[in-house]
Structure 1
Amino acid sequence: MTDGFDLRALLAERGGERYELHARYLNPQLPRMLHTIGFDKVYERAAGAHFWDADGVDHLDMLAGFGVMGLGRHHPVVRRALHDVLDADLPDLTRFDCPPLPGLLAERLLAHSPHLDRVFFGNSGTEAVETALKFARYATGRPRIVYCDHAFHGLTTGALSVNGEKGFRAGFDPLLPDTPIALGDLGALERELRRGDVAAFVVEPIQGKGVHEAPPGFLAAAQELLHRHGALLIADEVQTGLGRTGDFYAYQHEDGVEPDLVCVAKALSGGYVPVGATLGKEWIFKKVYSSMDRVLVHSASFGSNAQAMAAGLAVLSVMESEGTVAHARRIGALLKGRLEELVPRYELLHQIRGRGLMIGIEFGRPSSLGLRGRWTMLQTARKGLFAQMVVAPLLQRHRILTQVSGDRLEVIKLIPPLVIDEADVDRFVTAFTAVMDDAHGGGGLLWDFGRTLVKQAVAQR
């Protein structure tokens, strides 16, 4: 039986209107921005770490949907699991039963963090953070959250309260009681804890903005301080978790670190169904859900839905059977090593940092007079324009999708699908080398694009 709706026919008829539809009905600045930087492409299909445009040209994905596509696009095992769960006609989301899939996924997740005991499933990374903030405040009876400068934990009101980027927060005050510290500043953390009103410290083991790793020993020392003062450690592993950094969780790179609450999302979805999870200790969950009267004190309408749970179970199964974490560690070391070899060669290239397949490429002020003048022109107009000058030709000339790692940052962040291989590494390094050669040789097209960006930046002041 059919009602006449044909999705393929609809896409065939109106898919070409995609940019016009966004400009008319959604965020109008998105198509404008994509057009300005030359990213207004039309992509037709995708698989693994690659996608193809309307002309059938292959593109390498070094962005992974901001980390969502951990296993790449359309992994056959995840896809089959979703077909299976839809075909099963399950009585999903009755809300007055205990279906098996959430329990099974929680069991599999907790096996990777055996010091934790329970899981709450929501629909996104920001929901996972919101859950952790609520649970920490209720469990401790304290209002305040400490977070790090330049942190990104989401954009809903609670998560925004612990967002370290002023551009995201501007105009949305008042937010929750909060206090920022510098990543790695134990003295500042201890000063805040002495006030006695801190519920928790939330931290990304490696910050997504700029790809800054917590200093060695910081997380363990912070954990000791927090527990001494009756506060909790929340590890935001929304982007760093599920193998991204070469261990299942990024906090596991440091011995003795056992966060009280851990937030995951993104890659757990398999790239198909939004899902978020907050893992926590038994006593915290028991305090929040302390009686039958409080059974729904924190819940989500679509939380624990069968499709999301099936996707998560399939993702964890694939990661185990295909050795995804070890692969990310090995390929990440290869990519980082190849890029580090280029640093002495290019004066505009200052540092390569990160772990596994979360790598930051930082640019900085050159020493030679000719390049210094061009660099100063860009910096005067707006910081971050040189990194955008590199990102643009990587896509336009070399068909590789990357991103600038934050507003006004001269850093490119690489977070490709964890399934990229040696050939993909060769392709990226070859393309990146060509762009660096062009920049250092005064290549006209690259610096012409820089002048276009300068004009755009000046016009928006």
Structure 2
Amino acid sequence: MTTEFDLGRLLSERGAERYELHTRYLNHQLPRMLHTIGFDKVYERAEGAYFWDADGDDYLDMLAGFGVMGLGRHHPVVRKALHDVLDASLADLTRFDCQPLPGLLAEKLLAHSPHLDRVFFGNSGTEAVETALKFARFVTGKPRVLYCDHAFHGLTTGSLSVNGESGFRDGFAPLLPDTAVPLGDLDALARELTKGDVAALIVEPIQGKGVHEAPPGYLRAAQELLHQHKALLIADEVQTGLGRTGDFYAYQHEDGVEPDLVCLAKALSGGYVPVGATLGKDWIFKKVYSSMDRVLVHSASFGSNAQAMAAGLAVLSVMENEQIVANARATGELLKSRIAALTDKYELLADVRGRGLMIGIEFGRPNSLKLRGRWTMLQAARKGLFAQMVVVPLLRRHRILTQVSGDHLEVIKLIPPLIIGEREVDRFVDAFTDVMDDAHSGGGLMWDFGKTLIKQAVANR
């Protein structure tokens, strides 16, 4: 006898408890934070680049679940693939056979990076990074991994070792042997390599924290230096890969760059199933898996599961058939140019940067005396409060979801679904213009909220 489980009924009966449940059983600071900044919304449904609340009001998603929803939410092709794979009743995860879906997905991924040969499938971006770190240290026989200042590569112990933000690392030592070098500083890289103990440099072609791009020529020159010292180049494309920056991989914006290992995750399953992938050269995989005794020396219980593989194949099919990469490039150029055109109009707007649909909007110290005094007041309390002052009215007044790009950063990061078009660009630019008008007019709305943020920042010290 089977017992019926009614998910719809459960959500209907207890969905209204969502914030209370989080407070009681999960991270209790999340609902507290959301309430403080007015982000404690109740979204009823989602599709594409939009959410809807119980009143039927739509919200434009410029965050894409931190980049997971590359195709937007509930893409019909990916949904159908998941229904199909469940209906197929495959003999999945026997662990002692070879299913076709992982091989087919690996083949498709590798077609976009022909200098790479093999794939390991895990369950997240941080797992993809952990795999790359393990493989690099093993095949080189060296312990130390270099990373760049302000990098973000994950939060498990290995990936945390190459995380450039002290706020994430504090209290979790000891970590792996590691050293940070400035992004773009080849001299600093060369100095570390001459010590002879470096296994690899791991780098985001465009850093997620702050949206900082590697300078032109840096990746190729770094690759040459690393190889001269028998060390590897690891490209972390967890957020930048799969079309986000207007090329399939962000490292492909620079000719001649061929990383030894590439880390993928986030958008690979269309946001449905946790999945990660580490792509690498043949010799690396053959050295790690050097004999039958070592067949499970690196593995993952849920790695290569049928649902994740089917979703990944569907995502790559949609990307090809709907020209997702080209759209990200064209729409990103339009969005970036429209925002950049506002820098002469608004003295608080310091810089607009990025590639494709990964755009950073940075705010800076204004020139006028009145605004400078207010800016200084915010900075004295906590750097990053002005960016939060922009993010909040974008949601509360214009129903657009964005994020501050990192702790203590006056940068907003836009990483919307790659399916957005001119309509969404118009909506964002109009809303952003309205918010900036308010910030520069001396009106009370934004700056009054700034006082609330200052009180909160001081209370948390």
Code of the aligned partner of 2:11: L
Counterpart CA distance in 1 for 2:376 and 2:403 is 22
Deviation per residue, 1:417-458 (Å, 9 max, x gap): 000110000000000000000000012111110000001111
Q: Secondary structure at the match of 1:179?
A: strand
Q: CA deviation at 1:54?
A: 1.6
Counterpart CA distance in 1 for 2:216 and 2:284 is 28
Code of the aligned partner of 2:373: G
- Residue in 2 aligned with 1:109? 109
Counterpart CA distance in 2 for 1:303 and 1:442 is 54
1:116-135 equivalences under 5 Å are 116-135=116-135
- Residue in 2 aligned with 1:203? 203
Q: Secondary structure at the match of 1:344?
A: coil
- Residue in 2 aligned with 1:32? 32
Is 1:145 equivalent to 2:145 in the alignment? yes
Counterpart CA distance in 2 for 1:456 and 1:331 is 37
- Residue in 1 aligned with 2:212? 212
Q: Secondary structure at the match of 2:344?
A: helix
Q: CA deviation at 1:18?
A: 0.2
1:374-385 equivalences under 5 Å are 374-385=374-385
Deviation per residue, 1:302-324 (Å, 9 max, x gap): 00000000000000000000000
Is 1:225 equivalent to 2:225 in the alignment? yes
Counterpart CA distance in 2 for 1:236 and 1:276 is 11
- Residue in 2 aligned with 1:331? 331
- Residue in 1 aligned with 2:180? 180
- Residue in 2 aligned with 1:344? 344
Counterpart CA distance in 2 for 1:162 and 1:54 is 42
Q: CA deviation at 1:113?
A: 0.1
- Residue in 2 aligned with 1:97? 97
Question: Percent identical across equivalent pairs?
Answer: 84
Q: CA deviation at 1:88?
A: 0.2
1:30-429 equivalences under 5 Å are 30-429=30-429
Deviation per residue, 1:96-124 (Å, 9 max, x gap): 00000000000000000000000000000
Counterpart CA distance in 2 for 1:323 and 1:291 is 42
Q: CA deviation at 1:460?
A: 1.0
Deviation per residue, 1:333-352 (Å, 9 max, x gap): 00000001000000000000
Counterpart CA distance in 2 for 1:248 and 1:4 is 44
Counterpart CA distance in 1 for 2:173 and 2:303 is 28
Code of the aligned partner of 1:299: S
Counterpart CA distance in 2 for 1:319 and 1:104 is 16
Counterpart CA distance in 2 for 1:327 and 1:436 is 28
Q: CA deviation at 1:4?
A: 2.5
Deviation per residue, 1:223-258 (Å, 9 max, x gap): 000000000000000000000000000000000000
Counterpart CA distance in 1 for 2:157 and 2:361 is 31
For structure 2, which runs of at least 5 residues remain unmatched after alignment?
none
Q: CA RMSD in A?
A: 0.5
Counterpart CA distance in 1 for 2:282 and 2:458 is 54
Counterpart CA distance in 2 for 1:290 and 1:198 is 22
Deviation per residue, 1:338-397 (Å, 9 max, x gap): 001000000000000000000000000000000001101100000000000000000000
Query: With structure 1 as the length reference, what TM-score do the two structures score?
Result: 1.00
Q: CA deviation at 1:81?
A: 0.0
Counterpart CA distance in 2 for 1:19 and 1:442 is 35
Q: Secondary structure at the match of 1:45?
A: strand
- Residue in 1 aligned with 2:23? 23
- Residue in 1 aligned with 2:443? 443
Code of the aligned partner of 1:147: Y
Which aligned runs of 4 or more in structure 1 are off by greater than 3 angstroms? none
Q: CA deviation at 1:285?
A: 0.1
Counterpart CA distance in 1 for 2:233 and 2:62 is 31
